Structure 1
Amino acid sequence: MTTETATVWSAARVADILLTAERTRTARMSIQAEWPDLDLDIAYTAQDVALADRLSRGEVITGVKLGLTSRAKQRQMGVDVPSVAWLTDAMVLPAGLPVPRAQLIHPRAEPEIAFVLKRPLKGPGVTAAQALAAVDTVVGAIEIIDSRYSGFKFTLADAVADNNSSGVYVTGPVPRRPADLDLGLEACLLEVDGHVIDSATGAAVLGHPAEALAFAANTMGARGHTLEAGWTVLTGGMTDAVAVPEGARVAAHFTSLGSITIAGG
């Protein structure tokens, strides 16, 4: 790469490109394919730049989301670590509303276990047990992810820069205390139009969802961020994400956390 090219690319430019793609609902090719020097440090900085833009437009942070917490997804992507990204109130989908197709490019749904924190959590050094002790309630969730990359083709750094393919998310109606659940065995069936597409348990998420929460606290802590009380933490897809066809109905049925149904819009 020439010095001239290096000066053209920056975390701010990456953030602007991806925010523009989001606003215009225009998918694009991998940024790392164009800029091989895109690494995780730059990608996470791009995330923070994009977050600052969102906050300047009046959005409020509601939590964080994890990606690539499933071992199967890690193998598929050729990585061995998850990633973390931001959630804001603009990404909250109230229960009963359909998928907002008009603001998404190619939505896919994945069921998740989500935590709501009762006290702040900051790494480094947070263990899964310490992370779980900071949890107020556990809820089921469906996240509608929406990559800004054509065909969901991207590298890990691409995904991180794109805020882990953030779209919208809805949380379930049955909050439970962590002590009342066996989260490793909490199961979920994912349905599309009444047909079971996939199933998994909480163990699919790094062996236990609390491990994902600890990873989020430690990764965000290394960047100088604290997971705040009241925030929601989406721990990552339990199953593969499935496309949401127009007019379809997607449902996630959890063992102890109730059911969530979303119309495809």
Structure 2
Amino acid sequence: MTPAQHQSAAAALLHAESTGQQAGLLSIAYPDITMDDAYAIQKQVVAGKLAQGQDIIGWKIGLTSRAMQQALNIDIPDSGVLTSAMRFDTGDTIPAGRFIQPRIEAEIAFVMKTPLGGAEVTRADVLAATDYVAPALEILDTRILRADPATGAARKVFDTIADNAANAGVVLGAERHATDCNLRWVGAIVTVNGTVEETGLGAGVLNDPVESVVWLARRMAQYGQKIDAGQVILSGSFIRPVECPAGTRIEADFGPFGRVDLNFS
């Protein structure tokens, strides 16, 4: 793909977000699209958000479970950018029409106290740079079709990455914890309108959510980027995505770690 095509694809995704009308699959329109192309498109999407007056507040890591990687025939996670318009608090109600096809995932969020970067970042570096960890939900949305209506072809990882890794929002719980807890055993019971829908443990995220942040820092170093102090890092979901049509109430009970609630009006 050319830089002009990257810009055109990003413009289509931003238009889809603003109008609620999904764009077609990029993997169909650009059959030779690569991972580098997808991240280049994502970069243009984020540039468009910054031009709207938003700020970067953090990063999300996706595709951290083996099941999701196998479903998309890849062997690495992906990442996206969190912006200021995506920040919500536990107990908030999402207005009708804010998102196209919202879903949620339960995650552990890392909030950084010092910058973190470099190709040789270690687990110890991540722990030292983290201010606290907290229970969180990620809101996913898809500004791009999940399948091509003409052929039935499903979206590919390139489509998801270009669409800012399907990222739409971050909801932080009120609780804050030091990093000396065993995050592999931190989990959540997620209920939808009072019915248990999903359960999971942090170990589902690359065996340890800390390793997810290690991966992100090292990947960013390849592009001359780093994680900044104060940024929020969503380390990856340990449940499958849960659909959230209008009228959905989500309660994520992380036990002693805390809880996060969210409503879709």
**Count of matched residue pairs:** 259
Partner of 1:3: none
Task: Call closer, same or farther: CA 1:259–1:129 in 2, change over 3 Å.
Answer: same
Residues 101 and 245, structure 2, Cα contact 8 Å, conserved in 1: no
Aligned residue among 70, 84, 88 for 1:93: 88
Distance in 1 between the 2:9 and 2:264 partners? 30
Cα distance per residue 1:174-224 (max 9 Å; x no partner): 110001x11011111111011111111100001100111011111111111
Equivalence for 1:222: 222
TM-score normalised according to structure 1 size: 0.93
Relative to structure 1, is the Cα distance of residues 7 and 206 closer, same or farther in structure 2, using a 3 angstrom cutoff?
A: closer
Matched residue, 2:208: 208
Distance 1:25 1:67 in 2: 23
**Residue 173 of structure 1: SS of its match in structure 2?**
coil
Any stretches of 5+ residues in structure 1 without a counterpart?
A: 1-5
Equivalence for 2:257: 257
Give the superposition deviation at 1:7.
6.0
Match of 1:235 in 2: 235
Residue 188 in structure 1 maps to residue 188 in structure 2: yes
Distance 2:124 2:77 in 1: 19
TM-score by length of 2: 0.93
What is the match of residue 172 of structure 2?
171
User: What CA deviation, in whole Å up to 9, does each residue of 1:229-254 have, x standing for no partner?
Assistant: 00000011110011012112111111
The farther-off stretch of 125-134 and 135-144 is: 125-134
Equivalent position of 1:14 in the other structure: 9
> Which whole-Å CA distance do the structure 2 matches of 1:100 and 1:71 have between them?
33
C-alpha contact (below 8 Å) 2:13/2:144 kept by paired residues:
no
Q: Please tell me the residue identity of whatever aligns with 1:165.
A: A
Q: Does 1:128 align with 2:123?
A: yes
- 1-side partners of 2:94 and 2:66: how far apart? 27
Shift of 1:95: 3.1
Q: Which runs of 4+ in 1 moved over 3 A?
A: 6-9
How far, CA to CA, are the matches of 1:8 and 1:58 in structure 2? Answer: 23
Equivalences for residues 37-116 of structure 1 within 5 A: 37-116=32-111
CA distance in 2, matches of 1:188, 1:107: 20
Give the % identical residues. 35
